[in-house]
Amino acid sequence: MNPDPKAVTAQGYDLQLGVNNIGTWMFTKLLTPILTRTAAAASKSAPGSVRVVWVGSSAAEGMSPRDGVPVAALADQKSYLKQGNMKRYAISKAGNYLHSGEFARRYADTGIVSVALNPGNLDSELWRTQGSLMAWFLRNFILHHPVNGAYTELFAGLSPEAGRNGDWIVPFGRRMPITRDDLVAATKTREDGGSGVGEAFWEWTEEQVKPYL
């Protein structure tokens, strides 16, 4: 979050987009065959136990643009980098939610559960680029101990209560509907009455990683 405004990956992508979305999507892509086999083996003894947990943020709900990810704008990364740094962070976190929803849709018949979460406002290295005054204010009035974020993630990954495809998990281990209807619509295809943005973002991400698979 909030690196140098001009920071990019080795491939030229906005660093937040590359780390938070493209890299994690490719990692998940590589793991999907073994996840599928494991879910099939666990279908009777432990249904819903094989999961992909996508770590989003409250920024997905509070700061991302309509539909979460402006997919068309991603084609020109030099122009995309001109958008505000925190806006790009929020887009990447909305992207985690959209990837989770699209994974849930595409792999619904495999037994793999896909959930996204907001871990909470945590006193972690995420804030290392903030100024000292802002860091002091955040640590004293806003942020929680990092272990609380671990609780959220463990709930998403292990709790029977979080075993529904497409869930949104909030601090510090609760299922809640995401607060924006446009993000919900973005996880649905146009054929199903949604905007199809999640599907488009998935396909865009897939195209980016093709040279490396």
Among residues 57, 64, 114, 195, the one annotated as catalytic is: 57
Instruction: List Cα–Cα distances, 130 to 62, 126, 169, 203, in angstroms.
Output: 19, 9, 27, 34
Q: Among this protein's residues, is 82 annotated catalytic?
A: no
| Distance, CA of 127 to CA of 138 (rounded, Å) | 9
Among residues 89, 92, 107, 195, the one annotated as catalytic is: 89
Q: How many other C-beta atoms lie within 10 A of the C-beta of residue 14? A: 26
54 backbone dihedrals φ, ψ, rounded to 5°:
-100, 120
Q: Among this protein's residues, is 114 annotated catalytic?
A: no
Q: Among this protein's residues, is 89 annotated catalytic?
A: yes
- Which two tokens mark 146? 């990092």
Among residues 13, 64, 92, 93, the one annotated as catalytic is: 93
Among all residues, which ones are annotated catalytic? Answer: 57, 89, 93
